[in-house]
Amino acid sequence: MNIAVFASGRGTNFSAIARAVKKGKIPGNLALLVCDNPSAPVILKARRANVKVALVKRKDFATRKDFEERIIQHLKDEAIDLIVLAGFMRLLSADFVLKYKGKILNIHPALLPSFKGTEGIKDAFEYGVKITGVTVHFVDDQMDHGPIILQEPVKIKEDDTLETLEARIHRVEHKLYPVAIRLYIEGRIRLEGRRVKIVND
């Protein structure tokens, strides 16, 4: 199964996925990085991992539809079976999501449906909850909303700073995302309406 990772920034989840593929923990081929930011560190990480890079900048296209059509062409060229969002800082259109329905995963640094949006860690920390965590979910046409595949809680300690909490959240992300991708590739994820059932071997 051919995997495309969409990322716009540092690429720490990209690196975790690449390591898992290399070690055989993900039984698939990391075929493509789709990136919209030419200065993103993830591009160098992809090249070091010998993963093909598709740099698609929104400003190069008159419309969002044209921008996404170029991405779709890259996905077709590499025969992509699964899209993995890993810090891609653009919302995909409803048309794009529908085209790849059930084939797009996302990771969010909070226990959805709580603390949606781009500042999930900070929002949970500042709100004062005692437990936050990480969610892997299918993508639908709403932000941070699709059916939940896996979640793992992270306790917020009394002496935590935002930075120490972020570090622990990211460690959980790097462990949980490869597990969810493996389950998907092995055909062990079943969608039953909005609920996800994990099928045993």
Contact 13/107 with Cβ under 8 angstroms? Answer: yes
Active site residue 108: yes
Average pLDDT over residues 169-195: 94
Token couple for 91: 């919302």
Pairing of strands 52-55, 29-35: parallel
CA distance 130 to 135: 17
pLDDT of residue 37: 97
**Tens of pLDDT, residues 132-167:** 999 999 999 888 889 999 999 999 999 999 999 999
Where along the chain do the CATH 3.40.50.170 domains lie?
Answer: 1-100, 109-135+152-201
Task: For residue 179, give every residue at least 6 positions away whose Cβ sits within 8 Å of its Cβ, in sequence order, or none.
Answer: 150
Range list of β-strands (E), the chain? 2-6, 29-35, 52-55, 82-85, 104-108, 131-138, 148-155, 189-192, 195-198
Region 109-135+152-201: CATH code? 3.40.50.170
Work out the angle at residue 44's Cα, subtended by the Cα atoms of residues 137 and 166, and round it to the nearest 5 degrees.
45
Please give the structure tokens belonging to residue 142. Answer: 């709403």
pLDDT digits (tens, 9 = 90+) for 97-119: 999 999 999 999 999 999 998 89
Q: Residues 108, 137, 145, 174: which is the catalytic one?
A: 108
1-100: CATH topology:
Rossmann fold (3.40.50)
Q: Is the pTM of this model over 0.85?
A: yes
pLDDT given at position 176: 98
For 36-187, list the strands marked E by DSSP: 52-55, 82-85, 104-108, 131-138, 148-155
